[in-house]
Structure 1
Amino acid sequence: MSHRMALAALCTVMALTSLTSTGCVGMALGTNMGLWGIPIPVSPYYQKKQEDAFWNHERYERAPILPPLQPGGPTVALDPPSDDEVVQAWEKANPIQGGLPFLHERQRNNVRIQKEKIADYIDPPRVVPLLGPVQLHHAHYKCTVYYSEVTRVGWPIPYTTVDEDAQEVLYIDHNHFHMVGNVSGGAGSNY
């Protein structure tokens, strides 16, 4: 065996040894997961998509169960949608993320949100499984979003368009349950 072939074989063995004993690929400690042990980079788009889905589920996709309505008390919904809720619904209906930098980008500037209650009513009592006797309180809102949209195209011919009077209308429902009757569940309960 020539000197060069021996040197090449020694370099190959050293390279393989260093690969198996570094970082996440090491075979000396723990279980060997093979190729699954090597971390794979994930696009920030998918991470943000999961975070937004969790944010919406945690804050806006659940119907709370409130105490019973008191006689003579207020029966109107007191909480209009927050600006964050309107923007989240707007992004879901008309996404703007995912543009190609220097090729096609969109921006929304000077955002102004107007909220208007269009309906507020309470259903008659009914029994819902796992909840018991409840009333469903509906509150419907019409949210108009006024904004200016800037679109920049960079190829094949660079240009920019600005729509100063853009607007979008969103309808958001705030539904929640009210318990009915004596909610203590003791001997004097009504159900």
Structure 2
Amino acid sequence: MLLTFEKKILGLLVSASLVASTGCIGITQGVNLGPLAIPVPISPYFQDQEELEFHNHERYERVPIIGPITAGGPAIALDPPSDDEVMQALERARPVRGGLPLLHEKQRNNVKIVKEKISDYVDPPRFIPLIGMASLHHAHYKCTVYFEERTINGWPVPYTLEDKESAEVLYIDHNHFHMCGNPDTGASSIY
């Protein structure tokens, strides 16, 4: 009787140690995070927000460094803002995302974007830390977005509001650096 009880206890201890040492939980080599090592599911809404923030940071929130302006060459800006950049700026100014389906939703339909360059100028050269001698090139754009806005309310009394002639004006700045002089780009040269 005692021998079978000891075997059961030993079997429970062995099975508990096997279960605890499988996967990410249990005995590991190195740093052990304990219960913090268990993955926690994230709502798709928050995951989408993180991806959108990374998309904006990667594309629109950085200042590029371009080679020097050639002598006698035009000092014109890079491309005007893309439609995606204008819509992202509009979403930050007047958000539509995050409505509750069947309760309250907003939609923008038939979107038309008009882009106008307001100014385009280059600052005199100066020393910029981590870059060296550079001049900052400014380009300012006025973007007018025409759209139809539809607001759907579903509770307590369902109704729909439609604004056929909505317009928003956004000002978008495109700045980039031009290196000055004979910059050392790090490329190997033949002596």
TM-score norm. by structure 2 comes to 0.79
Whole-angstrom CA distance in 2 between matches of 1:147 and 1:124: 40
Among candidates 27, 38, 43, match of residue 20 of structure 2: 27
Aligned residue for 1:100, secondary structure, equals coil
1:178 corresponds in structure 2 to 178
Kindly provide the amino acid, as one letter, of the partner of residue 31 in structure 1.
Answer: I
Alignment match, 1:79: 79
Q: What amino acid does structure 2 have at the position aligned with 1:165?
A: E
- Provide closer, same or farther for how the CA distance between residues 98 and 171 of structure 1 changes in structure 2, counting only shifts above 3 A: same
Q: Is the 8 A contact 2:25 2:34 kept in 1?
A: no
Separation in 1 of the partners of 2:54 and 2:62? 12
2:167 — aligned with what?
A: 167
SS in 1 for 2:73: coil
How many residue pairs get aligned? The number is 166
The 8 Å contact of residues 65 and 176 in structure 2, kept in 1 or not, is answered as yes
**So what's the TM-score if we normalise by structure 1?**
0.79
1:69-124 deviation digits (Å, cap 9, x = unpaired): 11111111141001111111111111111111111111110011000000111000
Check 1:141–1:185 CA distance in 2 against 1; reply closer, same or farther (3 A cut): closer
- Give the AA of the match of 2:162: V
CA shift in 2, pair 1:49/1:180, >3 Å: same
Percent of aligned pairs with the same residue? 61
Matches within 5 A, 1:116-131: 116-131=116-131
How far, CA to CA, are the matches of 2:34 and 2:142 in structure 1? Answer: 54
Deviation at 1:185, TM superposition (A): 7.4
Deviation at 1:151, TM superposition (A): 0.6
Shift of 1:41: 2.7
Aligned counterparts of 1:90 and 1:185: Cα–Cα separation in 2: 37
Give SS of 1:79's match. coil
SS of the equivalent of 1:98 reads coil
